[in-house]
A and B are shown apart, each in its own frame.
Chain A
Amino acid sequence: MWWIPLAIIGVIVLWAISAYNSLVNGRNQVKNGWAQIDVQLKRRFDLIPNLVETVKGYAKHEQETLEKVIQARNAAMGASSVEELAAREGELRQTLRSLFALSENYPDLKANQNFLKLQDELSGTENKISFARQFYNDVVYRYNTRIQTFPTNIIAGMFHFTQEPLFEVDDPAEREAPQVKF
């Protein structure tokens, strides 16, 4: 019966290989999920200067708001970690919202075809960012769970698979419950 321990070792090795491969697969999915967010963020970073230029022509007195948008954009572009980006993202979203709210005061601007197109594009991109974030978080959630649960955690520890951060919304408007005033 010398082959029994050999067979057991064989089974363990096979399991370890498949666990390792599934972890690699998970890590690649996380990377892919992040790339999806990145594409949409870049798209939005490119759209914002155009938007600011268009608004500038109509609303000269709103210099402050426009500068805030540009600042928020540059801050988000310079973010170095997922957590920081998530925070900057929320701020950018806020300033954009106030920019669109402000455009309500300028009927000429609201009738501008270019502005309308940019507004459409930006809201589409905004949606895609949140869908991409949703996909990324789903993938990260599964990957992190696999890393933490027994027995895959042994393999994860041996080969240094580390947990990935979730991309959490840092948007006061989304986080807080809506206030009802009478």
Chain B
Amino acid sequence: MKPTINLYQQIAANKRKTVLILFGFGIFAVLLALALSAYFELPLGATGVILSSMAVLMLLQYSLASSMVLRIAGARPARREEYPFIYHTVEGLAIAAGIPAPKCYIIDSPAINAFATGRDPQEGVVALTTGLIERLNNEEIEGVIAHEIAHIQNYDIRLATIAIAFVGIVAVIRDLFVRSLWFGGGRIKGRSKNDRNKGGSGIFLAIGLIFIILAPIFSRLLQLALSRRREYAADTTAAWLTRNPQGLANALRKIAIDPYPLRQATESTAALYIVNPLNKLSMAANAFSTHPPIEKRIELLEQLAYKY
């Protein structure tokens, strides 16, 4: 009856995937640096500089990822006086989950949606739209917040944050190379003409192209890493925390028929939301969707309803 084993497996799987992503990025960075220095016949020191600057970039992305996500989503900190119920509920459910109380953020949008972010359970953030607070009843809001708290508790948010940082870095490198074609390209071409006839802009174009191809592949990989199972797991944990699966089920039902689009949602952050704001209505799960169909989630929650 208790989803405890499930929860620990989920946390273990998330930690494993996080290590895998970091490892993958490390290998990728080393290969890229080696390829660059082999091609340009750079000294070993230069390779080190390339590698360490990539590491710094990754760290920067990682430490800024959650504030970046919040900015992209247009979220602002919720004032306690303005939203006492939200604060009470978030703090209460955090106690039930045994994690420190996450910060509360508000997104000004009539759409009903919510997400959680942060690097670890100690620095969790829960963001809710104003539409959600206005149009769901207390029980439903409690269900949604419990779902987000579950993501924080399960280390889903850390995995998502790292994955987003990873995709962000690929995009930065891509832009760097694509731009260098316009700005730095001429100078490098001039130098390489003098040195040897390798065509500097040619290689930059090639790398740029590789990254243009790689970027969407990485975001696909990210979506696969953030598997649909974690949504079911978060729903189950939410039901356990509130002892009331019906609250979240009703909330999901309202989100499914919510006519307002969430303008603040983007491709990179869509996976974070409780219901994917970009293709909410796709009922059939395709191989790359980050969320299971709402119908299925409601069904699962209603099955749980008999247990409490």
Contact = CB atoms under 8 A, between A and B. Distances in A.
Closest 8 CB pairs of A and B: A124-B88, A131-B96, A131-B92, A131-B95, A128-B92, A127-B92, A132-B95, A135-B96
A120 B83 CA distance: 12
B158 to A, nearest CB: 21
Interface in B1-18: 2, 4
A32 B92 contact: no
A166 B87 CA distance: 28
B259 interface: no
Contacts of A124: 84, 87-88, 91-92
A46 interface: no
A33 B96 CA distance: 9
B93 interface: yes
Given A32-B98, A138-B2, A120 B84 contact: yes
A29 B95 CA distance: 13
B96 A134 contact: yes
B84 A135 contact: no
Nearest to A123: B88
Given A134-B96, A135-B96, A135-B98, A128 B243 contact: no
A135 B92 contact: no
Contact of A131 (B2, B84, B93): B93
Given A128-B95, A135-B96, A139-B98, 5 more contacts: A124-B84, A127-B89, A131-B95, A132-B96, A134-B243
Question: How big is the A interface, by class?
Answer: 10 to 19
Contacts of B87: 124
Interface of A: 29, 32-33, 36, 40, 120, 123-124, 127-128, 131-132, 134-135, 138-139, 141-142
14 contacts: A36-B95, A124-B87, A124-B88, A124-B91, A127-B89, A128-B95, A131-B92, A131-B93, A131-B95, A134-B96, A134-B241, A135-B96, A135-B97, A138-B4
B98 A128 contact: no
A127 to B, nearest CB: 5
A135 B2 contact: no
B207 to A, nearest CB: 49
Contact of A128 (B84, B91, B97): B91
Contacts of A134: 96, 241, 243
